[in-house]
Chains A and B, each alone.
Chain A
Amino acid sequence: DTGVSQNPRHKITKRGQNVTFRCDPISEHNRLYWYRQTLGQGPEFLTYFQNEAQLEKSRLLSDRFSAERPKGSFSTLEIQRTEQGDSAMYLCASSPGWGPYNEKLFFGSGTQLSVL
């Protein structure tokens, strides 16, 4: 199965620590998205890449958050100086492009972050 892969599945950290998550998208997909989801909410957009270019960042993404996709393949999301409010499921998704019938996302299983 060559679906979207995210690692780790779960991360527990202490407040103030840095964490990094990895996402491997479906290989032929040039768009990669990061979303955050808290309990009882739908996924909230954080940022997306077209190949290696980061084209949009949400205002939800504070200066403590940074995302990269250096070679247009896998992506990393780093959170510095974590806060308890960062606790959430971080979802990565990839897409074949944009346009009618292409505006659909293939999600990974997510990384569940708990900040103590």
Chain B
Amino acid sequence: TQLLEQSPQFLSIQEGENLTVYCNSSSVFSSLQWYRQEPGEGPVLLVTVVTGGEVKKLKRLTFQFGDARKDSSLHITAAQPGDTGLYLCAGAGGNNRLAFGKGNQVVVIP
């Protein structure tokens, strides 16, 4: 089983602050995705990273894939209330399906 651990589980910050959340595993993944989920809805794909060391930016969100392809981080600059949500990382290994972590619950206070 490919276990993905996300930390911190819960993070509350003021609008305008920066934050970083992490996704770690002992397994190597061929790719890793980040999703955001809002209450009562399904997860929505934000980004896919494939190459070790890869950095992708999506507006104020910066995603990094570890050199060994075992971990990833998500950094949000100048967080906005609209960034509130559950951020899920999901890894693809050799078993033709994605395994999800438990998520990072982010709350941005206006």
Interface string of A32-43 (1 = CB under 8 A from B): 010100001111
How big is the B interface, by class?
A: 20 to 34
Cβ of A112 within 8 Å of any chain B Cβ, yes or no, is yes
Q: Which residue of A35, A104, A106, A107 contacts B48 across the interface (Cβ within 8 Å)? A: A104
Does A108 contact B42, Cβ atoms closer than 8 Å? yes
Of the listed stretches B11-19, B70-78, B99-107, name the one at the interface; the rest are far from the partner chain: B99-107
Q: A110 on the interface (CB 8 Å rule)?
A: yes
Which residues of the partner chain B approach A55 to less than 8 Å between Cβ atoms? 96
Distance in angstroms between the alpha carbons of A35 and B35 in the assembled complex: 15
Instruction: Tell me, rounded to whole Å, the shortest Cβ–Cβ distance linking B91 to chain A.
Output: 9
Say yes or no for B84: interface residue by CB 8 A criterion: no
Asked whether B59 is an interface residue with its Cβ less than 8 Å from the other chain, the reply is: no
The residue that A103 contacts in the complex, of B30, B42, B43, with Cβ under 8 A, is: B30
Per the 8 Å Cβ criterion, residues 23-40 of B in contact with A are: 30-31, 33, 35, 40
Given A55-B96, A56-B96, A56-B97, also A104-B102 (CB < 8 A): no
Q: How many residues of A contact B (CB 8 A)?
A: 26
Q: Is the CB of A103 within 8 A of B40?
A: no
Assess whether B50 is interfacial by the CB under 8 Å rule. Answer: yes
Stretch at the interface among A11-19, A68-76, A93-101: A93-101
Q: Do A112 and B48 contact each other (CB < 8 Å), given the known contacts A42-B101, A100-B30?
A: no
Q: A40-B102, A43-B43 are in contact. List 17 more A-B contacts (CB 8 A).
A: A41-B102, A41-B103, A42-B4, A42-B6, A42-B100, A42-B102, A55-B96, A56-B96, A56-B97, A101-B48, A103-B30, A105-B33, A105-B45, A107-B42, A107-B43, A107-B44, A110-B40
| Chain A residues near B (Cβ < 8 Å) | 4, 33, 35, 40-45, 48, 55-56, 91, 93, 98, 100-101, 103-110, 112
What residues of chain B have their CB less than 8 Å away from a CB belonging to chain A? 4, 6, 30-31, 33, 35, 40-45, 48, 50, 88, 90, 92, 95-103
